Amino acid sequence: MKGIHVGAIDNVATAIQPLHKGDVVLDVTIQEDIPKGHKFATAQIPKGSPVIKYDSHIGIAEVDIEPGQWVHVHNIEGERGRGDVDSLVRNIEQDGSRNKAVEHVDTKYSLTGYRRADGSFGFRNHILVIPSVHCANKVVERIANGVMYSDANRREDTKVVYVSHQHGCSELSYDADQTTDVIVGTAANPNVYAVLLVGLGCEVVQAEETAKKIKARAPYKRVEFFNIQDCGGTDKSIKKGMELVKEMLAEALKEERSAGDLTDVVLGTECGGSDSFSGLSANPALGVASDIVVSQGGAVILAETTELIGAEHILAQRGINTEVKQAILDTIKGYEKVVLDSHADIRGANPSPGNIEGGLSSIEEKSLGCIYKAGNSAVVAVKPYAAPITDKGLTFMNTPGNDIEQLSGMVAGGCNICVFTTGRGTPTGSPITPTIKIASNTYTFENMNDSIDLNGGTIIDGSKTIKDVGVEIVEAIVTYGNGEMTKAELNEQNDFSIWRLATTV
């Protein structure tokens, strides 16, 4: 097979391998060389008419396009997120209905982890050292590393981790509130046994108040804090922090894993470094896994609001009620309006240069491929960035498309395991939440094998079906949830970033 034609009304197809002029693919004679992963027309597309993939608009033809011609940014113009063109959100009427069943399997999966006093379930049992403000970053790093490079006992699933960030001071109130929410949610995540919060002492996001909020969210958890100024400087702070963390670690090592199942999963879904194969292999396979988790009583998070622009007509149809449907539309179109108000072209930021090189031509095309990772389950709730996930089923969280800001938001919301699909490849991971990486194509899986756990390229190669790989993902959730380390964990990818809303003041 040299090309994939996805939807029944599509007028483009995707090249599975480099195509050359004169090749006949899907009964179409190729008119020019087509790079692997890029699109070619399967029917005549007159200038000004829609280019269709996934049964939806992905842009408008800028010139007449003949069957067999290459279709990409040189001859297709995206319709959405185009603040450089006008300042209005375009309403493109499209059929959002999809008659697709929610995938399920008969297998009942067993898991082990750490049952917390509030009923939540952690797959890791880490001690988290976190700054309330960027001024404390270096002290936090030296506390965590000082313990980890000492002779203190630890297990792979129970050790000291830390994060650093660039927030906590010189922020307007709503940014300071968001910083606080992310710190609190991250510390309260069930993958964290105990937390040490380190402040400087004069910042906007105060360590003492933030520690109280962590304790209120997770009363069962040991929460300690101090300020560097009160300790008398860097060395004394590091010494005090190491003593506290060693005590916490010794306590955490007494905890034992207990039984759980998929009802205990809060699965974060993410795609980053996408290519045109992402929407054909890794994302649909993750969608199968998402459906299986939901069908067995678990929770799934769909995020990346910018990467739903152009697919909201599909997602809104899946809202469980009128309120959720409207919240989906308001959230996605509201985010798009921010882009439009900037009078910028979203292309280049999203899809990024790497996405475009990988064959994606518009935000609509990227979004329509991204949405597959959420399967076909109903959307039961819409949540703000980093808000606690309280519902079983599929929740849409409003986040940026930026990989690390999005991942940090989901983890702060309670995500205890994440599956991250990638076409181009990325090493991203969370310091506290196991992040399973799946490549959309075999080249990326092999090229970045020290960073990627699973190969969704077997779907493109034709050796496995989407459902086969979806089941593999569920089995990987069990394996890594039970304590095996993901590649991101082995590489100590402690990525953490907070979505900033305004300028520094």
Q: Hey, what amino acid is at 410?
A: M
pLDDT at 291: 98
pLDDT at 1: 81
User: Which pLDDT tens digit goes with each residue over 32-86?
Assistant: 999 999 999 999 999 999 999 999 999 999 999 999 999 999 999 998 888 887 6
Percentage of residues in the chain having pLDDT higher than 90: 89
With 90 as the cut, is the pLDDT of residue 94 above it?
Answer: no
pLDDT at 98: 65
The pTM score is 0.95
pLDDT at 90: 60
> What token pair was written down for 241?
């922090």
Q: Which residues share a beta bridge with 82?
A: 345
CA-CA distance, 26 to 360, in Å (whole number)?
Answer: 20
The dihedral through the CA atoms of 61, 272, 418, 217 has a sign that is: negative
CA-CA distance, 439 to 273, in Å (whole number)?
Answer: 10
CA-CA distance, 81 to 46, in Å (whole number)?
Answer: 23
pLDDT bucket at 92, cuts 50 / 70 / 90: low
**Residue 28's CB: how many other CB atoms inside 10 A?**
20
- Chain center to CA of 59: 25
> What token pair was written down for 218?
């997770």
Q: In what order do the strands lie in the sheet with 39-41?
A: 3-4, 12-15, 39-41, 70-71
pLDDT bucket at 343, cuts 50 / 70 / 90: confident
Percentage of residues in the chain having pLDDT higher than 70: 97
pLDDT at 89: 52
pLDDT at 341: 86
Average pLDDT value over all residues in the chain: 95
φ, ψ at 427 (rounded to 5°): -90, 0
In this structure, are residues 494 and 161 in contact, taking their beta carbons and an 8 Å threshold? yes
pLDDT at 432: 97
Contacts of 455 (CB under 8 A, 6+ apart): 438, 439, 442, 445
With 90 as the cut, is the pLDDT of residue 217 above it?
Answer: yes
In this structure, are residues 170 and 202 in contact, taking their beta carbons and an 8 Å threshold? no
Mean pLDDT of 459-473: 97
Q: In what order do the strands lie in the sheet with 417-422?
A: 379-383, 393-397, 299-302, 266-271, 417-422, 435-439, 454-455
pLDDT at 348: 81
In this structure, are residues 161 and 129 in contact, taking their beta carbons and an 8 Å threshold? yes
Mean pLDDT of 209-213: 98
With 90 as the cut, is the pLDDT of residue 100 above it?
Answer: no
Which H or E run contains 270? strand 266-271
With 80 as the cut, is the pLDDT of residue 207 above it?
Answer: yes
Mean pLDDT of 356-371: 94
What does the DSSP 8-state code read for residue 75?
Answer: T
User: Which pLDDT tens digit goes with each residue over 8-29?
Assistant: 999 999 999 999 999 999 999 9
